[in-house]
Amino acid sequence: MPYVIASPCIDITDKSCTEECPVDCIYEGDRKLYINPKECIDCGACEPVCPVEAITQDRRVPEADAEFTEDNKRFFTETLPGRDEPLGAPGGSHKTGPIGVDTPMVAER
């Protein structure tokens, strides 16, 4: 997974990153945004525009937020509450619109 959105995004969801992403791989949960690891092309366009510095490369995620690397993957690979199947890689967040639900880890914070 090239880039990860960590805890500073919770309850902020500024969405500047979604405007910069050339492949539309940043999806909106309820309280946080998530980068689809299968759709991200590792360009880094999202990182400098995040006003709360929540986006980093997966290998540079601060230790305090290390759990967000796996949690970001779970958003796409596990069935989220209220959904019938995992989101997978639908080909862009504009196709799905806001997902409206978070992973259990984010929802519990």
Do 97 and 30 contact (CB within 8 A), yes or no?
Answer: no
Q: Which of 25, 40, 10 is nearest to 96 (CA)?
A: 25
Q: How many domains would you assign to the chain?
A: 1
- 95 is a domain residue: no
Do 36 and 89 contact (CB within 8 A), yes or no?
Answer: yes
In which domain, by residue range, is 74 found?
Answer: 3-83
Instruction: Check residue 63 and give left, alpha or beta (phi > 0: left; psi -120 to 50: alpha).
Output: alpha
Q: What is the pTM of this model?
A: 0.93
Q: Which three-class secondary structure state does DSSP give residue 8?
A: helix
- 89 is a domain residue: no
Q: Looking at residue 43, which CATH number applies to its domain?
A: 3.30.70.20
- 107 is a domain residue: no
Instruction: Identify the pLDDT of residue 109.
Output: 84
pLDDT digits (tens, 9 = 90+) for 17-76: 999 999 999 999 999 999 999 999 999 999 999 999 999 998 999 999 999 999 999 999
